[in-house]
């Protein structure tokens, strides 16, 4: 009878004889099930490792794996490329501006000391470039006519007594050959713009010969302020447009202006002449290296991120084992064994 068997008796005589007799004492069967579960998990792990090794075999080229990895970061590549292009172009632009500034400084230093030449007339205007005329000492004979325009500027390093914010006064000058040129007579402070505050500052009447430095026309940018036609205030030096605003014949107006180097007035010291800007700030090399440094920094951060992401991706492996799941499965097998044993005992009774 099953009640007379000893627990743990696994001899052939102790095994059940009938069909309903349950062999609940054979613990090795439970152990076999646990071993099979372990073997099954070990087999799964081996399969996963085998798949991983097959993925890294020479059959899959390293270039393909790298390409697949890089595709995951396409947005990063796009942003980095745009940033590098912008920074590189800003650096190159500053180098270009450096060349222009050095050329301007050299031109000013060499031209400004030359004796004045006759101001270029209409016959030469068509082929006259800004570099040919800018800061060229010239002289011309003629007379001033009525009218004034005010070019707003800030005089930081004045050669005379007055400086700060104010206006350069431009007056039309008719040459003896019949063409017109706008002449920068000099600087006045903001509070001396009105003619009543600077009596005696009118130009002399009659024919005179003036000399000064020719200045090229400026080109307005997107950020340039528009001229105020009511107050006759200008922020960009545009001889042709200024002449049209004064009612002069545009085709007979020179494409350049003349900065007087000596005050030419009936009386007094205004407008303050000789304030042509001859010194220039030159920080373009510093700016160029700054933009280039930012570009190199961005590129370094971009490469460092990709390298770190690549190694993190390469180290990702499947889970080899899960001890918690294995222990839980063994506990379930034990509970099942006990339930079968209890059921067999009740049946025998």
Is pLDDT larger for residue 112 or for residue 235?
235
Cα–Cα distance for residue pair 230/225, rounded to 1 Å: 15
Please say if the pLDDT value at position 227 is more than 80. yes
The pLDDT of residue 238 is 93
> Where residue 262 falls among pLDDT bands split at 50, 70, 90?
confident
Question: What own/partner pairs with CB < 8 Å and gap ≥ 24 does 310-315 have?
Answer: 310/69, 313/69
Please say if the pLDDT value at position 317 is more than 70. no
Q: Which whole number is the average pLDDT over 126-143?
A: 88
List pLDDT tens digits, range 196-225.
888 888 888 889 999 999 999 998 888 888
The pLDDT of residue 9 is 46
> Where residue 12 falls among pLDDT bands split at 50, 70, 90?
very low
Please say if the pLDDT value at position 26 is more than 50. no
Cα–Cα distance for residue pair 182/239, rounded to 1 Å: 7
Which two three-digit tokens encode residue 144? 């001033």
Please say if the pLDDT value at position 24 is more than 50. no
The pLDDT of residue 8 is 45
Please say if the pLDDT value at position 189 is more than 60. yes
Q: How many CB atoms lie within 10 A of CB 1?
A: 5
Please say if the pLDDT value at position 155 is more than 60. yes
| pLDDT above 90: percentage of residues in the chain | 33
> Where residue 35 falls among pLDDT bands split at 50, 70, 90?
low
Please say if the pLDDT value at position 179 is more than 50. yes
Q: What is the largest CA-CA distance in the chain?
A: 148
Q: Which whole number is the average pLDDT over 321-339?
A: 69
List pLDDT tens digits, range 41-61.
666 656 655 555 554 444 456
The pLDDT of residue 50 is 59
Cα–Cα distance for residue pair 166/171, rounded to 1 Å: 16
The pLDDT of residue 67 is 77
Q: Is 253 exposed, middle or buried (0-12, 13-18, 19+ CB in 10 A)?
A: buried
Q: In this structure, what is the dihedral angle of CA atoms 42, 46, 48, 51, given to the nearest 10 degrees?
A: -170
The pLDDT of residue 315 is 67
Q: Which whole number is the average pLDDT over 289-306?
A: 91
> Where residue 347 falls among pLDDT bands split at 50, 70, 90?
low
| pLDDT above 70: percentage of residues in the chain | 76
Please say if the pLDDT value at position 76 is more than 50. yes
Please say if the pLDDT value at position 13 is more than 90. no
Cα–Cα distance for residue pair 94/57, rounded to 1 Å: 50
The pLDDT of residue 109 is 81
Please say if the pLDDT value at position 236 is more than 70. yes
The pLDDT of residue 61 is 62
Cα–Cα distance for residue pair 271/261, rounded to 1 Å: 11
pLDDT, the chain, mean: 80
CB contact at 8 A, 264 and 203: yes
């Amino acid at each position: 009878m099953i009640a007379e068997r000893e627990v743990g008796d696994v001899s052939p005589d102790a095994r059940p004889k009938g069909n309903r007799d349950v062999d609940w004492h054979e613990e090795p069967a439970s152990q076999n099930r646990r071993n099979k579960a372990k073997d099954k998990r070990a087999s799964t792990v081996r399969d996963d490792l085998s798949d991983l090794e097959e993925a890294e075999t020479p059959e899959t080229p390293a270039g393909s794996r790298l390409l697949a990895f890089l595709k995951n970061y396409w947005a990063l590549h796009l942003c980095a490329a745009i940033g590098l292009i912008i920074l590189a172009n800003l650096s190159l632009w500053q180098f270009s501006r450096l060349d222009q500034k050095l050329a301007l400084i050299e031109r000013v230093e060499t031209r400004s000391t030359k004796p004045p030449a006759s101001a270029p007339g209409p016959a030469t205007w068509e082929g006259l470039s800004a570099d040919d005329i800018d800061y060229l000492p010239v002289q011309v004979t003629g007379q001033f006519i009525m009218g004034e325009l005010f070019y707003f500027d800030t005089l930081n390093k004045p050669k005379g007594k007055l400086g700060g914010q104010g206006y350069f006064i431009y007056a039309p000058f008719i040459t003896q050959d019949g063409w017109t040129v706008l002449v920068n007579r000099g600087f006045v402070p903001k509070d001396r713009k009105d003619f009543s505050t600077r009596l005696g500052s009118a130009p002399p009447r009659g024919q005179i010969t003036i000399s000064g430095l020719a200045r090229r026309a400026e080109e307005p940018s997107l950020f340039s302020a528009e001229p105020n036609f009511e107050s006759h205030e200008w922020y960009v030096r545009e001889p042709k447009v200024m002449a049209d605003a004064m009612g002069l014949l545009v085709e007979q107006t020179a494409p350049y202006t003349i900065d007087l180097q000596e005050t030419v007035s009936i009386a007094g010291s205004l407008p303050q002449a000789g304030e042509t800007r001859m010194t220039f700030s030159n920080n373009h090399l510093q700016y160029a290296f700054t933009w280039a440094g930012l570009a190199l920094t961005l590129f370094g951060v971009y490469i460092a991120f990709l390298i770190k992401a690549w190694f993190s991706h390469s180290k990702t492996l499947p889970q080899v084992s899960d001890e918690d799941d294995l222990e839980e499965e063994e506990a379930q097998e034990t509970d099942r064994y006990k339930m079968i044993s209890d059921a067999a005992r009740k049946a025998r009774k």
